[in-house]
Every structure is written in C-alpha cells, then in structure tokens.
Amino acid sequence: MMAQYSNLKTEAGDCLLFYRMGDFFELFFEDAKIAAGVLDIALTTRGEHAGEPVPMCGVPVHAAENYLARLIRAGCRVAIAEQVETPEEAKARAKREGTPSSKALVKRDIVRFVTAGTLTEEALLEPRRANMLAAVCDLRGTCGVAACDISTGAMQLEECEPQRLPAVLARIGASEIVVPEGWNDMPVDAVVRPRGDFSSDRGEAQLKKVHGVATLDGFAQFSRAMLAAAGGLVAYLEHAGRGDLPLLLPPTLRASGGHMAMDEATRASLEILASQQGGRSGSLIAAIDRCVTGAGARQLAEDLSAPLAERAQIEARLALVDYMLGDPLLRGDLRTILRSLPDIGRALGRLVAGRGSPRDLGQIRDGLGEARRLHELLKAKGERPALLDQLLPSLAGHGELTDLLSRALVPAPPTERQSGGYIAQGYDAALDELREVSGSARRAIAAMEARYRSETDTPSLKIKHNGVLGYFIEVPSKHADKLMDADSGFTHRQTMANAVRFNSLTLHEEASRIAEAGGHALAAEESHFEELVDRIAARREAIAATAAALARLDVAAGQAERASDGEWCRPRVSEEPMLAIEAGRHPVVEAALAANGERFVANDCSLSEKDRLWLVGGPNMGGKSTFLRQNALIVLMAQAGGFVPARSAHIGLVDQLFSRVGASDNLARGRSTFMVEMVETAAILSQASERSFVILDEVGRGTSTYDGLALAWAVAEAIHETNRSRCLFATHYHEMARLADSCDALSLHHVRAKEWKGDLVLLHELSEGAADRSYGLAVAKLAGVPAPVVKRARSVLDKLEKGRAETGGIAAGLGELPLFAAAMEAEEEECDTLREKLEGVDVDALSPREALDLLYELKREI
C-alpha cells in the first residue's frame, strides 16, 4: 500500500492527497498534519514508515464536500484518489497475476484535482461571487491573459504590457492563477505548469477542438499571446479534470481601451468588492447590490470591477435602468419572477462538467421556462430601450428543450442520481412497465405477509428488508419453532437475540423480480439522464446567453431599485475632461450614518480644464477622504452603467482612475508603508493622462514634515503641469495653499469646521478657499485626549507659531520656487551643457594629464 500511496502522492505534487479507503478519504504524513490543523480533526497514526509512526487523519466520504470546501478556503489544493476497482475485482486480478489474494490491493487513481479555480459544486461556490481561474504568459514582451469562470463557462482573453499585468489580475480577482515555469514576479500561490502548455499553436488547436470550429475568426481576432495563455488555461483544466474538460463557452476578446483602468491599490482603497477588512460588508458593492439572483450579483461585481469607457455602451445600460425605474410595476413583476429563478448558468456548468444531478436538469427546465415568461412580460410593453431589445431574443427559443425536460422529469428531481426516481411517469413506457413490475411484486409481498400470518397463526410475523439479507420473514423467538419445521416451507437464515429470520421460495421469487426490475429501471433512467444532458449540452451557448440576459436584467432592475430607494440620479456622460457633481454623497458612509440616525452632508464637485486640480484642506475627521472617494465612486458607478448618489452628475469619461491614501492608513500591509506609498505615487505620475481622474489623500504623510510637504508639493505640481489629469488632492499641510499662486488650474477648498464655546464642530461641508487653521488640538480634544495634555500641547504650539512668525515658517520661500515643468527644463538644460562638452571631446587625442584636468572640470560643473 505504501508503494501505491507514494506513487499517487508523487503524481499529486503539492496537492493534499485524499486517499480513498472504504468509506473514508485518508490523508497521511505532512498532508495529514496540514488537514488536521485546518479541519480541526483528530490526527492519529497508522503503522510505521522508516521506523516512525505514520501520521494520519481521515474524513468520511459522504461528508467530504464540506471538508473540501474548508480546505480550499484555507488555500489548499486537493487530489482525489478513488478506488477504481472493487475488492472482488482486485482479488480476481491477483489470482490471474498469481499473487496471494490476501495481498490483493484495490487499484486507485487520481480522478480529479479540486482547486480554488476549478470548482463547480454548488456547496463549494459562493452564489453571489464569480469564481475565476486565470492563466498568464509572456510572448515577445506582451503578456497574454486567459480568464474563465468554469462554474458558468465564461472565458475571456486579453493582452497587456507587462507593467499593467498586476492591474489586470487585480480586476479579474482570480481565486487561482496559473503561470509557466520560470515566471518572474510570480503572484503568491500561483500554480506553476510546464512552459510547453503555454504554446499559442496548442491553445488555438484546443479552442478549435472544444468549440468544433475550423477557425476562431468567428469569435474574434485573438493575438498569439492570448492564445498561448488560453493554451495554458485549457491544459491546466485538462490536468485538473484528468482529461475531462468543464463547460467552456466561446472565448470573448477584452479590448484594452474598452474599460476604465484601475490598478490594485485603487481597487483596494476604493473598497469596491471588499472593504479594507476583507469582507463584503462595508464595500461599495454591498451598498449598491439589490440583485435578487446570484448571477445578477456576479454580473454587478463584474460591471463594477471593469467600468466601461465607451459612451454608447454606458448610455445603453443607463437607458435600461431608467426604463425599469420609470415602471415600478414592471420592475416588481420582473424581480418576483427573477427571485424564484434557479442559477441556470451554474447548473449548466455542472451538467457539462459531468458533475450534474437530476436537480440540475430540473433547474434548467424551470429557469428556461421562467425566462420565457419574462420574455412574454417584457415583449408586451411598447417602447423599449435598445439594450432590452437586444436581450429579448435570448430569453426565448428553448421551447423544444423545456417541453422535453417537462415531459421527462418529475416536478422536483432529487440531487442524487443513484436511487433513480427522477424520470416522470408516462415518459418511457418500458420504464413504466419495469416500475409496474416492482410495484406489483411489492404488493405481492405485502399480501404474502398477511397470508403467512394467518397460515402460521403468528400475528407478529413481519416481512422486512435490509441491505445485507434483502427481504426476509421475521418472527419473535417464541414463535420460531413452527417455522423451523423442515416441511413448513420456510428456511432459517439468522437467529437474533429476540427474533429469528427466515426465507421462503415465493418471497425469494418476488424479491428477485423487484431487484431485477429495479436494476433495469435504474439503468433506463441513467440512459435518459445522459441523453437529456447531451440535449442540454448541445444548446449550451444559447442557454448561457439566456443566463447572461437574465443576469443583465437583474442588474438593471436592482440598480433601478437602489436608485429609487436612495434618490439617485441618472448621470450625464460626455467626452470632455470635466466633472460636475451636484450634491454628491458617499453611498457607504451615508448608509453607515443613516444606521445611526445621522445625516450625510452632500457636497458639490466641479472640475474643468481650467480648474482641474482641487486642493482640499481642513481638519482631520472633517470629511476630506470621504469627499475624495465619493467623487471617485460616482465616476466609477456612472461608467459601470448605473445611477449615482447625487442630485445631478455630469461625467467627462475617465480612462484611468487612481486612488491613493497616505501611508499611515495602511499600516496593516507590512511593507515599509512609506515605500508603498511612494511606489504607488510613482505609478500615477508615470501613467495618469489628461483623461484620467486621480484622488490623492494625504500623500507624504508617512515621512517627516519637511520631506512630506516637499513630496506632496512636488507631486501636486507634477500632476498639474505634466499629467494634467483631473485631481482631488487632500492635505493637512496648509502651506500647500501657496501652490495656488503658481498653478493656474489649481484651486483651494476646505472642509468647514467651527469652534464653538471651545469645542470643535465638524460641518463636513466643502467650501472654497484655503483652510485657515488645522484644528489639530481641537480634534485631539474631541477624541478624548486628557485636558492637561491638550493644554500642554497648546503652549508648545504657541512657541512653534511664534518661531514661525519670525522665520516665515517651513514653507518660507516656496513661493519663489520655479514651477515643476520649468524647473525640470532648467535642470535638463544643465545636463545638456555637460553632454555637449563631453560630445565635443576626442578621447584619443587627450594626454593623460589633459584627461584628468577635463574630469576635474566636469566634476566642478556638476
């Protein structure tokens, strides 16, 4: 057994090996220690290996799914080794091979790898979250990325420059990433696969084979890098399924310019799908999501992760939301129907992957039937927005399949296939007959019981059934003698403590009829099951399109519902680099305040080419971060095609959104936080364009006052002069107000605060002009710092302020500093005189002495 185990373990690689032994999956050695720790189950030992007891733990097969879910969530991957022959077959084989039958070991094979990215089981998936698997590779300086959600089969290919890969992966949010061997900069926990898997020719051939097409041109024009990544992805799926592929729909191409780009730091700081604490609660999606189906919630998450960058597409989504908002009755009916809808996309995924159940067939039947009802409901309405017209045809057209499934299946098919009972009466005459046979035999047995009772004069006689003996006759011990008689017609089978069990020829005959008919009936149901799955698989793309259309409708109706609850408005979208938000609110903060009965103060924001950088000052806790984020979120929500929390909003399309938070807010991240802040700031300065929107919150806070102010100053100037993006810049350095003197498209704003009877009142109201003071001590007092400490701080502050008055403060002289761009030019010019001089030198013509003099001269000039 050890030899078999270690062969399988080698094959399993770094996956935990679930080794099937009877009714248990057992784990050994290191695997056992890891699993016992994660699952909190007993770690025992079994036998010895190399003189040491072998650590072992096990989980019962019938409860394996639950344990698997916990292991996967803890980041483990699992290889399942099943017994692929029965003990009898093993004994027969041993006999043929001439080994003693006591040594016959049941053959085992890895039948499947269960990993975070390759799940289809309902119990292992979260209904409202997509489960993505991604494969990446590089080809001549470009990264190819293939991503799919195998629970629904959706697959997308794209490519990007290597430096943008982290942002792309952040958008996809894969639960598992596959990379080729030797990949630099490997994401943590990535799965490494042979380079040969990532070949573009192979990828192309595999996709053609999966979709039965001679060319992929009908889907889109994919680049070599994309196909290479697709090759890696399909090869990994094949590996995980041991040759069986899950549902894969035709790949779609994700063009790089079609979406608003956001990098990982931006996503994290805007808390789009998860809050900084990691959960869904407190995130943007939690504040928006009113979808009534899991598929709708997954579509909304995708919309928010990849907001659109094309006006026409955004308008199409907005028009659908508007339509639903304008017709509350229709919306209500639609949502009622959607609410009862099964997740047909995932049911389809399970069926095609070969892990489906009769219940999944029933879900497809019900889902497609309801889709048809929705089709009727929506078709009956007159004026329809274009997107709805586009979606409508996908909702219908499954009549033949739904009819078939309705005829074939019982109303509520079971989740288990083994015991049959899911094919409806009247669908197959032969099956009905088999059922009739076992039915009549059962009735015969019931009649037999009555007959035997009177014949033997034993009213307590019973005919029973169990898994070991099958049918048998049981009487209490004291009545057993009559039946023991040689010519009583009964044969003795078993004596229990208080009862004795018998058989009879007639019982045996009826029981055989039941068993035989039952076996045939099961086989007949099984073959119907397979045929129904084939029929569904043949229409996989049309069913997936229906699922997608239903999800889109749910998103639009949910957005409308949210908008009507919160008095949100339809944003106007245009191409100019501007932003005009009237009475904007932060959806998450507003909800949190409302929960405490507090009111959110709405604020305006208006950026234009002439006034594109707002410097926002004011006391801590005054609402600066909230203001910055609410505007970024409003842009994001608008471009995702939804309504926004504002009185009105006019959004000039944004190509890239950047959000950065000063270091001290990110202490939990472990790396030197100031370093992180600067790396992230560097990324903005190198990438943000005139069409981008940047929010910077307290940049430079993570270092000393002088360094911090200097950096914040230079960064604000660079964005103003070089990137020319729309930008909101929050800072507590009120010295920065002087930037307004030199930067003409920069204006000063602050969140208002008042001191009233010695206490600070934060008004959370944005106002024009620089903040007059920082109110730091007042905030400290508000926070409960003891009065003597605040008093002491006040006297230190007085001293400092006196010093500032005498010297002009730390920002003295900054007003005369040349602007960023001008300064850069001047510095470049200086470099250029050096360059010119060097270029003019004929090195071969110099004597050693002259060369040394020249070196001194150049050094002096620097």
Q: Which residues bind ligand ADP (CB under 6 A)?
A: 589, 593, 600-601, 603, 620-626, 751, 764
Within 13 Å of residue 403, how many CA atoms lie on the same side as its CB?
5
For residue 248, give the nearest of 290, 276, 208, 189 by alpha carbon.
Answer: 208
Cα-based torsion angle of the residue sequence 275, 279, 283, 286 in order, rounded to the nearest 10 degrees: 180
- Hey, what are 164's tokens? 């943008």
Contact 303, 318 (CB under 8 A): no
With respect to ligand ADP, which residue has the nearer C-beta, 545 or 593? 593
Rounded least distance, CB 575 to ligand ADP, Å: 30
Rounded least distance, CB 673 to ligand ADP, Å: 17
Rounded least distance, CB 619 to ligand ADP, Å: 7
Rounded least distance, CB 679 to ligand ADP, Å: 22
Rounded least distance, CB 594 to ligand ADP, Å: 10
CA dist 156 → 219, 537, 702, 818 (Å): 11, 20, 40, 49
Rounded least distance, CB 726 to ligand ADP, Å: 19
How many CB atoms lie under 10 A from the CB of residue 447? Answer: 11
Contact 558, 302 (CB under 8 A): no
Rounded least distance, CB 765 to ligand ADP, Å: 7
With respect to ligand ADP, which residue has the nearer C-beta, 622 or 652? 622
- Hey, what are 671's tokens? 């790396």
With respect to ligand ADP, which residue has the nearer C-beta, 620 or 687? 620
Rounded least distance, CB 596 to ligand ADP, Å: 9
With respect to ligand ADP, which residue has the nearer C-beta, 559 or 620? 620
With respect to ligand ADP, which residue has the nearer C-beta, 266 or 620? 620
Query: Residue 354 is which amino acid?
Result: G
With respect to ligand ADP, which residue has the nearer C-beta, 227 or 601? 601
With respect to ligand ADP, which residue has the nearer C-beta, 67 or 600? 600
With respect to ligand ADP, which residue has the nearer C-beta, 199 or 625? 625
Residue 509, burial from CB neighbour count under 10 angstroms (0-12, 13-18, 19+):
exposed
With respect to ligand ADP, which residue has the nearer C-beta, 169 or 753? 753
The 8-class DSSP code of residue 308 comes to B
With respect to ligand ADP, which residue has the nearer C-beta, 136 or 605? 605
CA dist 23 → 26, 63, 70, 330, 667 (Å): 10, 10, 20, 52, 48
With respect to ligand ADP, which residue has the nearer C-beta, 339 or 773? 773
Phi/psi region, residue 813 (left: phi>0; alpha: psi -120 to 50; beta: rest), is: left
B/e letters for 647-657, b = 16+ CB within 10 Å, e = fewer, are eebbbbbbbbb
Within 13 Å of residue 641, how many CA atoms lie on the same side as its CB?
31
B/e letters for 849-860, b = 16+ CB within 10 Å, e = fewer, are eeeeeeeeeeee
With respect to ligand ADP, which residue has the nearer C-beta, 743 or 751? 751
Q: List the end-to-end C-alpha distance of the chain, in Å, as a whole number.
A: 76
How many CB atoms lie under 10 A from the CB of residue 832? Answer: 10
Tell me if residue 343 falls in helix, strand or coil.
coil
Rounded least distance, CB 628 to ligand ADP, Å: 8
- Hey, what are 464's tokens? 């029973």
Pairing of strands 693-697, 613-617: unpaired
CA–CA separation, 158 and 254 (whole Å): 5
With respect to ligand ADP, which residue has the nearer C-beta, 90 or 779? 779
Rounded least distance, CB 812 to ligand ADP, Å: 26
The 8-class DSSP code of residue 720 comes to I
With respect to ligand ADP, which residue has the nearer C-beta, 269 or 603? 603
Angle at 229 between CA 273 and CA 144, to 5 degrees: 70
Rounded least distance, CB 859 to ligand ADP, Å: 48
Rounded least distance, CB 392 to ligand ADP, Å: 42
Helix (H), strand (E) counts: the chain? 29, 27
With respect to ligand ADP, which residue has the nearer C-beta, 28 or 733? 733
Longest dimension (CA), the chain: 132
Rounded least distance, CB 567 to ligand ADP, Å: 16
CA–CA separation, 826 and 186 (whole Å): 41
For residue 171, give the nearest of 64, 244, 266 by alpha carbon.
Answer: 266
Segments in 694-775 forming alpha helices (H) = 705-718, 739-742
Tell me if residue 441 falls in helix, strand or coil.
helix
DSSP 154-171: EEEEEEE-GGGHHHHHHH
Rounded least distance, CB 621 to ligand ADP, Å: 4
Q: 180 has which bridge partners?
A: 193
Please state the length of the chain: 862
CA dist 406 → 409, 425, 427 (Å): 6, 11, 10
Rounded least distance, CB 702 to ligand ADP, Å: 15
Cα-based torsion angle of the residue sequence 323, 329, 331, 332 in order, rounded to the nearest 10 degrees: 170
384 CB-near residues (< 8 Å, 6+ apart): 323, 378, 392
CA–CA separation, 491 and 469 (whole Å): 13
Contact 299, 551 (CB under 8 A): yes
Q: Which residue is nearest to ligand ADP (CB)?
A: 623
The label of the residue with tokens 């699993």 reads 35
With respect to ligand ADP, which residue has the nearer C-beta, 254 or 732? 732
The 8-class DSSP code of residue 571 comes to P
Rounded least distance, CB 589 to ligand ADP, Å: 5
With respect to ligand ADP, which residue has the nearer C-beta, 521 or 730? 730
With respect to ligand ADP, which residue has the nearer C-beta, 623 or 642? 623
